[in-house]
């Protein structure tokens, strides 16, 4: 085992660390100045460098910069008695392994040094693995049987212009699949245009889709091309189609049926030379039964139906996906790529991922920023991954199982209403429930409807309609 180098001009700190490292049977070398470390580096390289941030001859941050230039993979731990935001940020931006504030727990410090030593010892192995794994990835990652079926469908549809309906839970990768369908089609050289129909206010959506003529409405000072014209010759991706307002459903149906549309305020028909791919995380058949979605439009969209599997049903893909996202995050942040230990990977595999692939990507971005070392351990994962439950599941558990919880209280209310023979009890309960949920969501987001809709998992148009129905707007 190579030595641990300790640089601090405070004799008492060196003495404490000397005793602790001796007890831990970890080889070490002590330095009372940064310059002494710089000279020693000319002849050998330690396993880890532990340095104070303030020394009389050179700061720890200056020493860090010198070390990283000479030995980029050497773990450097910065310690300081003057902990502040600027120094912490500077340390991590400079490539520090960890930031240790004085006074520190000596046992925790030894554990940190031991961990850094282990990582330093496997640095060569990590570099080799990086060369093997840093190969170009396909646009969609998945070796599971479920994803292989998706790949086959994309292959079969490569030379077709038929309309495709993508369904699946939020975050399951519907837009990624839509882009792949476009890239492998005969329209690949033309534009791919995506629009989230739930994110655009109802009064603006028609103009966004079909464009408008000059003077069509107040503020229409010039001709504007809609998404159908922008995607000419290519593919138009309509996301969150289940939340499209009824009047626009009619216009979309006409375009899909006739192949022509009119700009808002226009009198000349325009040919819609696009392939339409629609997506939703809602059950459109159920919305048709509820009268919220046109049945004829549903059948026009549902020519080819691809159901994307949730991530929990293809856990065998998690390793490859995580590897890809960690690599991408490192590239975006211009930092060294981090890797999952087998233990951490196993914990992640057991997680239900209600947010699917998008949640896994967010986790990898978080770990790239927050994990203290290049090898991510299970202890580095966020709390919900360690417990194996999501925030929603935790809340549901509280409501269901905690004594006197929400579920118990609701049961009492329902029982009393049944005794009193309250007319239309279900309607009353539903209205109270929805009013409470939507009102609370708006209060939580300070009135920001798009954010509230996103947190509740509903479309913006759905939220707007509910607010109107409940008298909250």
Cβ–Cβ < 8 Å for 66, 36 = no
Closest Cα to residue 301, out of 262, 346, 244, 355?
244
d(CA 363, CA 361): 5
> Helix, strand or coil for residue 377?
coil
d(CA 86, CA 96): 14
Beta-bridge partner residues of 98 = 77
For 158-199, what is each residue's pLDDT tens digit? 788 899 999 999 889 999 999 999 988 889 999 999 999 888
Cβ–Cβ < 8 Å for 439, 469 = no
Length of the chain: 473
Residue segments in the chain with a per-residue pLDDT below the cut of 70? 1, 82-89, 122-139, 387-409
**pLDDT score recorded for residue 221:** 84
Closest Cα to residue 188, out of 201, 199, 198, 179?
179
**pLDDT score recorded for residue 139:** 59
d(CA 249, CA 245): 6
Structure token digits, residue 88 = 């912490």
d(CA 76, CA 90): 13
Q: What is the DSSP letter of 224?
A: B
DSSP-derived pairing of the beta strands 270-271 and 260-261: antiparallel
Residue matched to tokens 């925030």: 391
List the helix and strand counts (H, then E) for the chain. 22, 14
**pLDDT score recorded for residue 130:** 42
d(CA 361, CA 359): 5
Task: Enumerate domains of the chain plus CATH numbers.
Answer: 4-129 (3.40.50.2300), 148-309 (3.40.50.300), 312-387 (1.10.8.60), 394-469 (1.10.10.60)
Cβ–Cβ < 8 Å for 200, 244 = no
d(CA 120, CA 77): 13
Closest Cα to residue 373, out of 188, 120, 155?
120
For 369-418, what is each residue's pLDDT tens digit? 888 888 899 989 988 887 655 555 545 544 544 444 566 667 777 888 88
> Helix, strand or coil for residue 264?
strand
Extract long-range pairs of 357-362: CB within 8 Å, 24+ residues apart. Answer: 357/171, 357/172, 357/173, 357/176, 357/311, 357/321, 358/170, 358/171, 358/173, 359/171, 359/311, 360/311, 360/318, 360/321, 360/322, 360/325, 361/321, 361/325
**pLDDT score recorded for residue 125:** 45
d(CA 210, CA 251): 10
| 0.85 exceeded by pTM | no
């Amino acid at each position: 085992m190579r030595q641990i180098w300790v640089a601090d001009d405070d004799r008492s700190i060196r003495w404490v660390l000397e005793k602790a490292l001796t007890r831990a049977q970890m080889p070490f070398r002590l330095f009372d100045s940064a310059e002494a470390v710089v000279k020693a580096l000319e002849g050998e390289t330690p396993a880890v460098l532990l340095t104070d941030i303030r020394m009389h001859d050179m700061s720890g941050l200056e020493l860090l910069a010198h070390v990283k230039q000479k030995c980029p993979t050497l773990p450097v731990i910065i310690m300081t008695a003057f902990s502040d935001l600027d120094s912490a940020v500077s340390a991590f931006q400079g490539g520090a392994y960890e930031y240790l504030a004085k006074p520190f727990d000596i046992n925790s410090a030894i554990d940190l040094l031991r961990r850094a030593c282990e990582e330093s010892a496997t640095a060569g192995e990590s570099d080799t693995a990086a060369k093997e794994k840093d190969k170009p990835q396909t646009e969609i990652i998945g070796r599971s049987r479920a994803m292989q079926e998706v790949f086959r469908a994309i292959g079969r549809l490569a030379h077709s212009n038929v309309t495709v309906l993508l369904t699946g839970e939020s975050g399951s990768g519907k837009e990624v699949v839509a882009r792949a369908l476009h890239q492998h089609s005969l329209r690949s050289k033309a534009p791919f245009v995506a629009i989230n129909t739930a994110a655009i206010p109802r009064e603006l959506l028609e103009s966004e889709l079909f464009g408008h003529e000059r003077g069509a409405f107040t503020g229409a000072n010039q001709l504007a091309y809609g998404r159908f014209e922008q995607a000419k010759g290519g593919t138009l991706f309509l996301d969150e189609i289940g939340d499209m307002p009824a009047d626009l459903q009619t216009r979309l149906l006409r375009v899909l049926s006739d192949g022509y549309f009119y700009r808002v305020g226009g009198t000349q028909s325009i040919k819609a030379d696009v392939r339409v791919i629609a997506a939703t995380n809602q059950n459109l058949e159920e919305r048709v039964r509820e009268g919220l979605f046109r049945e004829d439009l549903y059948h026009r969209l549902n020519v080819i139906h691809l159901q994307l599997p949730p991530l929990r049903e293809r856990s065998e893909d998690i390793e490859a996906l995580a590897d890809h996202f960690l690599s991408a995050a490192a590239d975006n942040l211009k930092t060294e790529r981090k890797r999952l230990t087998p233990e951490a990977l196993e914990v992640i595999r057991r997680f239900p991922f209600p947010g699917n692939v998008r949640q896994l990507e967010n986790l990898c971005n978080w770990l790239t920023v927050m994990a203290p070392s290049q090898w991510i351990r299970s202890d580095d994962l966020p709390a919900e991954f360690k417990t194996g439950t999501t925030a929603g599941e935790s809340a549901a558990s509280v409501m269901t199982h905690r004594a006197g919880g929400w579920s118990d209280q609701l049961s009492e209310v329902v029982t009393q209403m049944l005794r009193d023979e309250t007319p239309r009890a279900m309607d009353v309960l539903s209205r109270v429930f929805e009013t409470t949920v939507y009102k609370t969501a708006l209060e939580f987001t300070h009135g920001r409807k798009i954010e509230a809709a996103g947190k509740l998992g509903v479309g913006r148009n759905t939220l707007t309609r509910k607010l109107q129905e409940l008298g909250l707007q």
